[in-house]
């Protein structure tokens, strides 16, 4: 057995696709396919089932992934462990943080100035991971904190030797441009969606909160675009392409968008903070975690879509 083939296996298991694994490993998809096939030949076992939405582990693949997960976690942690040792246990060092685009841009970046002034010796490196912005999209197998120290994700983690804490809720609403609403009318209930165009989520996303609500609306409405990126869905809505499910914390501030339905209809996604148990003992990692918790706490109203101004605008703009 070529032990390096195991690395390719884990990458496909984590990404759920050959293309995702190839991007992670810096190779082409043909190389990934060849290495996985080689491992399957060596083990005389089928490790993946190819489906429309990607690659799913077989029972044999599940067994192998479970055996490799602790090893993968420790190997991935080595560079961070050595860096932490060099930086010492004081309140200085670099913390790599994985966060989705909305939380990073709308909340963390604006609050970073105050954090920097109180912790001048800590450098935060924000890693934009689009998978963390999707509902329940973190891989079922593999190390969810690979190459980072702390992560914010939009679903509760289900595995790993991690410290986990629910840090808030990201509420969603349904938004459109004024021009779109003037042309197509303002829906007031689910039954009105049949005459509207939707900007939806990718089909592979788990049916949680707004994804589930939109999947119901899609049974009668026309889907004109699907995108995992909040920025893409928001821009399409601004240009009058249709109704889009967007986080209230960003869309409520956008004067070019009008809220049609709020979180009471579309729901929310949970925000979970996680790090490795051993890293949580380091002062500079703890400082960043406290910063994240405090920032999300202070923004609770905006995160949950509790805006009096928006409610007033809705009442004023809704047809009588």
Whether residues 117 and 58 share a domain: the answer is no
Please, which pLDDT band fits residue 142 given cuts at 50, 70 and 90?
Answer: very low
CA distance 194 to 238: 21
Q: What is the domain extent for residue 145?
A: 88-320
- Domain end position, chosen among 36, 66, 96: 66
* Sequential DSSP letters for 215-261: HHHTTTSEEEEE-S-HHHHHHHHHTTS-EEEEEHHHHTT-TT-EEEE
Whether residues 99 and 48 share a domain: the answer is no
The more confident residue out of 249 and 81 is 249
Whether residues 118 and 201 share a domain: the answer is yes
Long-range contacts formed by 232-236: CB under 8 A, 24+ apart: 233/199, 234/175, 236/199
Whether the pLDDT of residue 315 is over 60: the answer is no
Q: What is the average per-residue pLDDT within 135-143? A: 45
- Assign 270 to helix, strand or coil: strand
Residue 127 pairs in a beta bridge with 98
Kindly report, residue by residue over 21-69, the tens digit of the pLDDT.
Answer: 888 788 999 999 999 999 999 999 999 998 877 888 999 998 898 888 7
Strands 162-176 and 258-261 turn out to be antiparallel
In a domain, 80, yes or no: no
CA distances from 140 to 24, 157, 163, 204, 211 (A): 17, 9, 17, 14, 19
CA distance 171 to 183: 27
The more confident residue out of 204 and 214 is 214
pLDDT of amino acid 318: 54
pLDDT of amino acid 11: 87
Number of domains the chain contains: 2
Whether residues 111 and 233 share a domain: the answer is yes
In a domain, 314, yes or no: yes
Whether residues 49 and 110 share a domain: the answer is no
CA distance 119 to 287: 8
Across 115-129, 219-233, 284-298, least confident range: 115-129
The more confident residue out of 207 and 117 is 117
pLDDT of amino acid 140: 43
CATH number for position 49? 1.10.10.10
CA distance 315 to 3: 63
pLDDT of amino acid 320: 38
In a domain, 73, yes or no: no
What percentage of the chain has pLDDT greater than the value 70? 82
| Contact by Cβ (8 Å): 104, 110 | no
Whether residues 131 and 46 share a domain: the answer is no
pLDDT of amino acid 312: 40
* Sequential DSSP letters for 4-22: HHHHHHHHHHHHSSHHHHH
Please, which pLDDT band fits residue 137 given cuts at 50, 70 and 90?
Answer: very low
CA distances from 99 to 28, 43, 130, 139, 155 (A): 26, 37, 8, 15, 12
What radius of gyration do the chain's Cα atoms show?
22
Q: What is the average per-residue pLDDT within 260-280? A: 91
Whether residues 295 and 203 share a domain: the answer is yes
In a domain, 120, yes or no: yes
In a domain, 82, yes or no: no
Whether residues 148 and 292 share a domain: the answer is yes
Q: What is the average per-residue pLDDT within 274-289? A: 88
In a domain, 202, yes or no: yes
Whether residues 167 and 214 share a domain: the answer is yes
Whether residues 41 and 160 share a domain: the answer is no
Whether residues 192 and 284 share a domain: the answer is yes
In a domain, 74, yes or no: no
Whether the pLDDT of residue 74 is over 90: the answer is no
Whether the pLDDT of residue 309 is over 80: the answer is no
Tell me the range of 76-90, 154-168, 195-209, 287-301 where mean pLDDT is highest.
287-301
Tokens coding 276: 């490795």
pLDDT of amino acid 308: 44
Please, which pLDDT band fits residue 3 given cuts at 50, 70 and 90?
Answer: confident
The more confident residue out of 92 and 175 is 175
Whether residues 235 and 288 share a domain: the answer is yes
In a domain, 81, yes or no: no
pLDDT of amino acid 176: 97
CA distance 281 to 293: 16
pLDDT of amino acid 185: 94
CA distance 44 to 152: 39
The more confident residue out of 224 and 311 is 224
What percentage of the chain has pLDDT greater than the value 90? 54
| Contact by Cβ (8 Å): 153, 124 | no
For residues 155, 156, 157, 163, the Cα torsion angle rounded to the nearest 10 degrees is 130
CATH number for position 214? 3.40.190.290
């Amino acid at each position: 057995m070529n032990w390096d083939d195991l690395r390719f296996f884990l990458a496909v298991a984590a990404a759920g696709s050959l293309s995702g694994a190839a991007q992670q490993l810096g190779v082409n998809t043909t190389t990934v396919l060849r290495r996985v096939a080689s491992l399957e030949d060596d083990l005389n076992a089928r490790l993946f089932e190819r489906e429309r939405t990607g690659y799913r582990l077989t029972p044999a693949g599940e067994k192998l992934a479970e055996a490799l997960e602790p090893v993968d976690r420790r190997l991935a942690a080595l560079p961070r462990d050595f860096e932490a040792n060099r930086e010492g246990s004081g309140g200085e060092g670099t913390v790599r943080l994985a966060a989705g685009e909305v939380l990073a841009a709308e909340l963390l970046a604006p609050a970073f100035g105050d954090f920097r002034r109180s912790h001048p010796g800590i450098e935060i490196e924000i890693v934009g991971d689009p998978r963390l912005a999707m509902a329940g999209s973190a891989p079922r197998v593999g190390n969810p904190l690979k190459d980072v120290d702390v992560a914010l994700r939009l679903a509760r983690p289900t595995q790993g030797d991690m410290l986990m804490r629910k840090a808030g809720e990201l509420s969603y609403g349904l938004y459109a441009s004024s021009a779109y609403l003037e042309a197509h009318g303002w829906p007031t209930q689910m039954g009105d969606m049949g005459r509207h165009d939707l900007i939806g989520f990718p089909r592979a996303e788990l049916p949680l909160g707004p994804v589930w609500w939109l999947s119901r609306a899609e049974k009668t409405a026309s889907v004109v675009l699907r995108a995992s990126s909040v920025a893409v869905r928001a821009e399409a809505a601004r240009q009058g392409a249709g109704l889009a499910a967007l986080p209230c914390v960003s869309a409520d501030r956008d004067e070019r968008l009008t809220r049609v339905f709020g979180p009471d209809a579309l729901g929310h996604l949970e925000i979970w903070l996680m790090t490795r148990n051993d890293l949580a003992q380091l002062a500079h990692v703890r400082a960043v975690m406290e910063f994240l918790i405090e920032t999300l706490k202070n923004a609770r109203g905006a995160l949950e879509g509790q805006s009096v101004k928006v409610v007033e605008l809705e009442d004023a703009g809704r047809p009588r």
